[in-house]
Chains A and B, each alone.
Chain A
Amino acid sequence: MTQKDHILQELKELNSSLVNLSQQNVYSVPVGYFDRLAVQVMKRIKALEAIDAKEELNHLSPLLNSISKETPYTVPVGYFETLADNILHTVRESNDYQTAEEELESISPLLSGLKKDNPYTVPAGYFENTTEKIVLEENKTATKVISLSGRKWFRYAAAAVVTGLIVLSGFLFLNKNNGDAEPGSKVMAKITNDVKNMDIDQQDDLIDFIDAGLNGKESAQLKSDNKSTEIKDMLVGISDEELNDFQEQSEDIQAVLLIN
């Protein structure tokens, strides 16, 4: 029993009227359709893979690709030359068209009524020399001086200075009566140890603090306004005399570190 027989049998069991219908195909296919199908599909595949519209059309239809694309329609003489003006005229005639002045008047009659004269004045000859001034300013900015030689080395030295001063001061005070001849050496050892235990952020803070104190010129030329403000906050309540003493002591210790 073939598959067809099985299906017919099934229809009979279902009492379907389809059993008696003819299986003739009522649809027609264009002559030669299947003969051309493979070629058509190949053309489309090549067209899909084309890099541009020209190549694509060449694959799909060499005939269309070969004829001129010039549209045979004509346009009235001068049409494009006058189109923009005609459209603008139409726009201006429309109900919702407004000039800039009309728009301002509708939004704010007050502002619209104000004169647009500029009340500000400018020093005489300001704009004549503007270009030169800009060039000078740029040159000034270009000569920014930042002393960064041996910064990595100096990082530890600077941090050591501050820590050392604090410890040294305390040590000197405590050992004043004992007449300790050389408190510095013990202090330096402690300073070195303390610096080694600091993290990078703490060392940076110490360096910034030392920079502000050790070299006033450098801090003045640096653009870091934020650091200057922070340093000022840190130095609130400390007198100038104390700062000068600190600076002198720091320079001495720095000299010692440099030699050693």
Chain B
Amino acid sequence: MSLTPISDSELLEQFRNPITKEKAYTSLIKKYQEKLYWHIRRMVVQHDDANDVLQNVLIRVWKGLEKFREDSQLYTWLYRIATNESLTYIEQQKKKSSVSFSDVETGLSNKIKADENFDANKVEWKLQLAIQQLPEKQRVVFSLRYYEEMPYEEMSRVLETSEGALKASYHHAVKKVEDYMLNH
């Protein structure tokens, strides 16, 4: 028997009912956990950091979902929270270590290289290193467009930036990533 995934509107309705609130919340997590996790992981690299950020995201969802106005898609809202939490986390890491931004990038590159499965010869690992060279917001744009294939219109709502600026940012990001891969 194939399971039809529950719709977002049904989830919201069930969440607003005290009796089915927890069940709806669990269903929401199961529906979106992987997408959110990988979006965060590509930003922060390590699993433990991604897990911390994801848990923060899901707690915020629990607290804020009742007031969610449905003037945007649910997943747009979730991605916005995940992106903001990831960027906040990176910012906090920067402050904790009192290093410049470029050192944070190097720090993330080192984390990639420290992964037990890292293989410098494999193009997938090289791509991750290339992505970490991008400025943080450009990294988000690249990740959303390249991996999620998110339409610019949706991305504009997630990042609250104009579509034109996002397109330009993505095009530059692709160029930088390609250059890195060709030269390393």
On whether the beta carbons of B124 and A60 are closer than 8 Å, the reply is no
Establish whether residues A72 and B128, one from each chain, have CB atoms under 8 Å apart when the complex forms: yes
A-side contacts of B116, CB under 8 Å: 74
Residue-wise, chain B 15-38 has the 8 Å CB interface mask toward A (1 for contact) of 000110110011001100110011
Q: Are B127 and A67 in contact (CB under 8 A)?
A: yes
Chain B neighbourhood of A85, CB < 8 A = 26
Task: From the candidates B18, B33, B62, name the one contacting A80 in the complex (CB within 8 A).
Answer: B33
Taking the closest CB of chain A, its distance from the CB of B52, in whole angstroms, is 12
Chain A residues in 8 Å Cβ range of B119: 72
Contact call A68/B177, Cβ cutoff below 8 A: no
B30: chain A residues within 8 A (beta carbon): 84
A83–B47 touching, CB < 8 Å: no
CA distance A134 to B172 in the complex (A): 65
Q: Is the CB of B25 within 8 A of A88?
A: yes
Interface of B is mostly: helix
Interface residues in A42-85 by Cβ distance below 8 A to B read 44, 47-48, 52-54, 56-57, 60-61, 63-64, 67-76, 79-80, 83-85
Contact A60 B146, beta carbon cutoff 8 Å: no
Complex alpha-carbon distance, A72 and B147, angstroms? 13
Q: Which residue of A lies closest to B171 (CB)?
A: A44
The answer to whether A25 has its CB under 8 Å from any CB of chain B is no
Point out which of A60, A70, A94 has the most chain B C-beta atoms below 10 A from its C-beta: A60
Q: Are A74 and B117 in contact (CB under 8 A)?
A: yes
Q: Are A57 and B146 in contact (CB under 8 A)?
A: yes
The residue on A at minimum CB distance from B127 is A67
Q: Which residues of A contact B41 (CB under 8 A)?
A: 71, 73
Please measure, in the bound complex, the distance between the C-alpha atom of A90 and the C-alpha atom of B54, giving whole angstroms. Answer: 13
Contact partners of A99 in chain B: CB under 8 A: 18
Contacts A53-B149, A60-B171, A84-B26 hold; do A70 and B124 have CB atoms under 8 A apart?
Answer: yes
Q: A60-B175, A103-B18 are in contact. Are A71 and B124 (CB under 8 A)?
A: yes
- Is the Cβ of A72 less than 8 Å from the Cβ of B117? yes
Interface residues on B, range: 35 or more
A87 proximal to B (CB < 8 A): yes
In the bound complex, CA of A69 to CA of B123 (Å): 10
Chain A hits for B26, CB < 8 A: 84-85, 88
Known A47-B171, A72-B124, A73-B117; further 5 A-B contacts with Cβ < 8 A: A53-B146, A70-B124, A71-B38, A94-B59, A100-B18
- Give residues in B with beta carbon < 8 Å to A: 18-19, 21-22, 25-26, 29-30, 33-34, 37-38, 41-42, 45, 47, 51, 54-55, 58-59, 62, 115-119, 122-125, 127-128, 145-147, 149-151, 167, 171, 174-175, 177-178, 181-182
Contacts A/B (CB < 8 Å), 10 sampled: A57-B146, A57-B174, A61-B174, A63-B182, A64-B178, A67-B123, A73-B115, A76-B47, A86-B55, A88-B22
Q: Which A residues are within 8 Å of any B CB, using their own CB?
A: 40, 44, 47-48, 52-54, 56-57, 60-61, 63-64, 67-76, 79-80, 83-88, 90-91, 94, 99-100, 103
By Cβ-Cβ distance, the 10 closest A-B pairs, closest first, are: A100-B18, A53-B149, A84-B29, A60-B174, A72-B124, A61-B178, A84-B26, A87-B58, A61-B174, A67-B123
